[in-house]
């Protein structure tokens, strides 16, 4: 399976600011996804990061709040904009070869908003 | 929308006892995937089940996929302290979206 890294691994931010999370894969992958895991909760899909085009967002998530970039097949960024304490979560990227394949997760970014 | 329900939410066992977690989907699944998340860690892929009625084993772990491809279970025989963590099932629908269950948090008392 691919080796996935995320930066930063954790951060503490002030409300109203924005944070950009990076996801880097050691090989080209077709599918990249961004998830949120709120404290003690399960994983919720935010969006599918599409290479060369706008991300596909799930219900309840909008581009203005979570802009995503995917400039190539090994890298993606997720920005959490205008943060509030409710955005405190673990943000995870995952990758897959195809839409039906197993997804492998990065180590996650633990975000705390004060 | 599609939902994947997982029970129980918590399970506390004595080391050596067995453990089972169950998942049930509101719709027929393309496949189901199981993940383990250790405390402070990220979800780690365990297995994927694709065929109706499929049973797979990994050492002390047995995974089953129901005949109707709507339910699944994970059974651990003779739990060890290294089994501690939260076990998630994730059902994949025909459109490829992965829907995670709520997870079962397993604690093992030595």
Dump pLDDT digits (tens) for A57-78: 999 999 999 999 999 999 999 9
- The pLDDT assigned to B2 comes to 77
Q: Is B98 on the interface with A (CB under 8 A)?
A: yes
- The pLDDT assigned to A101 comes to 83
Q: Is B88 on the interface with A (CB under 8 A)?
A: yes
- The pLDDT assigned to B60 comes to 98
pLDDT category of residue B97 using cuts at 50, 70 and 90: confident
- The pLDDT assigned to B86 comes to 97
From the list A73, A106, A113, the residue with the least C-alpha distance to A92 is A106
pLDDT category of residue B18 using cuts at 50, 70 and 90: very high
CA distance B45 to A54: 28
CA distance B74 to A14: 41
CA distance B34 to B43: 9
Cα-based distances in Å from A86 to A34, A36, B15, B58, B103 = 17, 12, 37, 39, 21
pLDDT category of residue B79 using cuts at 50, 70 and 90: very high
- The pLDDT assigned to A100 comes to 76
- The pLDDT assigned to A41 comes to 92
A31 versus B2: which is more confidently predicted?
A: A31
- The pLDDT assigned to A93 comes to 97
Per cent of chain B over pLDDT 90 is 91
- The pLDDT assigned to B109 comes to 95
- The pLDDT assigned to B30 comes to 93
Per residue in B21-62, pLDDT (tens digit) is 999 999 999 999 999 999 989 999 999 999 999 999 999 999
Strands B10-14 and B104-109: parallel
- The pLDDT assigned to B96 comes to 79
Residues of chain A contacting residue B92, judged by C-beta atoms under 8 Å apart:
100
Task: Kindly state the tokens that stand for A92.
Answer: 């995870």
- Please give, rounded to a whole number of angstroms, the shortest distance from the CA of B109 to a CA of chain A: 21
Cβ-count burial B43-56 (b if 16+ within 10 Å, e if not): bebbbbbeeeebee
Report the residue from B98, B101, B102 with minimal CB separation from A103. Answer: B98
């Amino acid at each position: 399976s691919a080796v996935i890294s995320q930066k930063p691994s954790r951060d503490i931010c002030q409300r109203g600011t924005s944070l950009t999370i990076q996801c880097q894969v050691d090989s080209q992958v077709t599918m990249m996804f961004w998830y949120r895991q709120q404290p003690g909760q399960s994983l919720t899909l935010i969006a599918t990061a599409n290479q060369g085009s706008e991300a596909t967002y799930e219900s309840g998530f909008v581009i203005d709040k979570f802009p995503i970039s995917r400039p190539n097949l090994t890298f993606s960024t997720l920005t959490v904009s205008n943060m509030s304490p409710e955005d405190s979560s673990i943000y995870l990227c995952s990758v897959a070869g195809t839409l039906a394949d197993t997804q492998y997760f990065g180590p996650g970014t633990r975000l705390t908003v004060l | 929308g599609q939902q994947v329900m997982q029970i129980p939410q918590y399970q506390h066992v004595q080391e050596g006892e067995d453990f089972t977690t169950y998942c049930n989907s509101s719709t027929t699944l393309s496949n189901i995937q199981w993940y383990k998340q250790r405390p402070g860690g990220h979800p780690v892929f365990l297995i994927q089940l694709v065929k109706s009625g499929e049973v797979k084993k990994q050492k002390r772990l047995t995974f089953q996929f129901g005949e109707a491809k709507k339910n699944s279970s994970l059974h651990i025989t003779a739990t060890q302290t290294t089994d501690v963590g939260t076990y998630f099932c994730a059902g994949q629908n025909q459109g490829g979206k992965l829907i995670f269950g709520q997870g079962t948090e397993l604690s093992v008392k030595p």
